[in-house]
Structures are given as C-alpha cells and as structure tokens.
Amino acid sequence: MADAALWYWPLDTAGGSVNFVMLLNWTVMILYNYFNAMFVGPGYVPLGWTPEKSQDCMYLQYCKVCQSYKAPRSHHCRKCNRCVMKMDHHCPWINNCCGYQNHASFTLFLLLAPLGCIHASFIFIMTMYTQLYNRISFGWSSVKIDMSAAKRDPRPIIPFGLSAFAASLFALGLALGTTIAVGMLFIIQMKVILTNKTSIESWIEEKAKDRIQYYQTGETFIFPYDMGSKWKNFRQVFTWSGIPEGDGLDWPVRDGCHQYSLTIEQLKQKADKRVRSVRYRAIEDYSGVCCPVTKGVKTFFTTPCTEEPRIALSKGDLILATRGLKHWMYGEKILISAADGGVRERGWFPRNCVEKCQYDSETDQPVDGEKKSK
C-alpha cells in the first residue's frame, strides 16, 4: 500500500483512487476466503453415523476412531482426527482439511491470491522504476543514483530510501513466487472440480485401473459422481448462495452407477492390499525422522515427498508392507501388544532397515509398487 501511494497517489486522480481501491479489494477478498476456508472447515461425518438402511453397511468402511461408518466420499484425516466429508486433502496452510463445506472458499482463495499478487507485482515494479528515475543523474562518463532524496518538488510524503527499495524488491520476489506456486495449485483444483472429483478420488480411480489391469478381471470402473457436464460438476461446488449442494452424506450419481460404487471399489482395493501385503521384520532401529542421515546417502536424498508419516522401528518389529519405492517402503507396524488385526501404525520406513520374513506364507507375494520400481 505504501508503494501504491508512492507510485500513484490515490487522492489526486481517479486512476490512483481506482488502483488503491482495487488493492484493498484484493486484500479483503483474499483474507475473507482464506479465513472462511480455515474456520468454516470441511464438515465432518457425525460421530456414530450409520446409513438409513442397515443393509447398506456392507458397502461401507467402518472407522474405529470415530465409531461410525464412513459416508460415501468421506475419509478419515489423521491430523483432524475425524472423518471428513468429501475430503480432498489436509492443507497445512489453513491448518484444516479441504472438503465439502470449504472447497469453494479454498479454491477462490487459490484464484484471488495470484490475481492480487500480479497486481502487487505491477505496483512494485512501477514504484521502483519511478523512484529510481527521480534519483538518477547522468554524467558524461558515469551514472549516479542518489537514494537520499528525490530530485523533485514537492518531496514525497512517504520516504523511499535504500531499505525501502530492498524491501520492495524482496516483496516482488515473494509476489511472483506466490503467483506461480498458488496458480499451479488453482489449476490442479479446477481440474478435479470440473470432473467432480477430489484429489483422493482421482488416486482411487488410478488404483482401480491398476487393480483391474493386475488381475485382468475385464471390469470397467466408471466414476459415479461425474455428472457428464463440466458446468454441472462446477455447480456441485460453486453456488450463488455460497452453500454447496446436498448434505455431504448423500450424492447424486450418473446413470448406470450405484450409490455405493466408489465405496465398493474402495473395499475391493482394501482387500487387494491385504492380499498383496508382505510381512517384514526390522533388523535395524529407525527413529522415524524424515531424512535419516545414518541410513545411507541414497535413502537420505530419496525420502518420499509426501505428508504421510514415518514410523519408528525397533529391531524385531513386524511390518506389513503394502507398497514400496527403491529405497523406502510403506506399511503398517504390528504392535507387539496387539493381537492380529489390532491397532497398527502406518507410515514410511527405509528399506535397508528390514528384511523379508521367509517363514511367512504371504512373503511369496510381491510388494505393490515394487514391480514398477527399478
């Protein structure tokens, strides 16, 4: 705002007033949608929720933490510790999940932030240009810049010295970086919104194709919530009232699809993961740090770029691995104090800290993902 006043004083001309009002408008709208996404929240599945028809429970997963069934399109968030309706992802920048109730506000924030930063970048550039122009003097063989005072009358109301120039240049870098980074996130969000999916559901669809190809079942998985029109999908999230359609528990589906088509596919994938899981035993201790220095250079530099946790291992721990990379594996640690099927910790761990249990009947199965890694 100081740079805007320096470049285009808002009280003298209509253009300066419009420029300043637009800058205030961007600020208010960005902060409104940001705090709306943060405090309104995504909406949570009621604790103890069950479908109206008891026979529909066979199509749903049960959440032991929330003591309720997971409604269609809902997922349990480990950080929020609740089942989130139409969960897209957990965003650390709003310290909340992006889901059913705040998906529109979050996406509008991703749109308005780059637009506001583009306007701010233009102001920074014009301010630095005009202020330097007023301080440059040309000689026969040299060019001098005097940052102590502007060579004009009257003197500027807001002083612009070397520190102000450095601050403006730094702010310009932040504005351009925000424009690129947040703009890319907006594009990603719009792609999933126009197909009426979430980021998690896009991943489920990819795993469905992988499962069908792996077992050669000849099935055809059709995503049930795509209305077949980008405008209809868009209206599922953005409404004139600002309140999304539906209640977050029941969703319209396309013709030929079952109300629980997606949840049935999730159950198939969960069963497939159990079949393809391989039992490993820890042969080294692992503290659970993100980038372990003591586990090798390759392990350090190839740590998975994901928010999924790491699990600490002690020598002798048993782990059911479900997928793997070249130097890392993901699985569930079987707690010693728990019986089979008990509570397990999930996360990534270095591959060189474990060895396959040769005595286990499941060890003949390949780890999901190993066949794709080199």
Active site residues per annotation: 91
What gap in Å lies between CA 76 and CA 150, rounded to an integer? 60
Tell me which DSSP letter residue 226 carries.
-
Please check whether residue 356 is in contact with residue 278, taking contact to mean a CB–CB distance below 8 angstroms. Answer: yes
Alpha carbons 153 and 270: distance in angstroms, whole number = 74
φ, ψ of residue 226 to 5 degrees: the values are -75, 115
Q: How far apart are CA 87 and CA 103, in angstroms?
A: 9
Q: Which two tokens stand for residue 26?
A: 């961007």
In one-letter notation, the amino acid at residue 353 is: C
Residue 336: how many CB atoms within 10 A of its CB?
9
**Given CA atoms 104, 105, 106, 110 in this order, what sign does their dihedral have?**
positive
Structure tokens at 168: 């403006």
Residues 216, 374, 361: CA angle, nearest 5 degrees: 60
CA dist list (Å): 253 to 73, 223, 228, 232, 236: 12, 9, 10, 12, 12
Q: What does the angle CA 7 – CA 177 – CA 27 come to, to the nearest 5 degrees?
A: 55
**Which of 124, 112, 144, 138 is closest to 32 using CA atoms?**
112
Query: How far is it, in rounded angstroms, from Cα 6 to Cα 18?
Result: 15
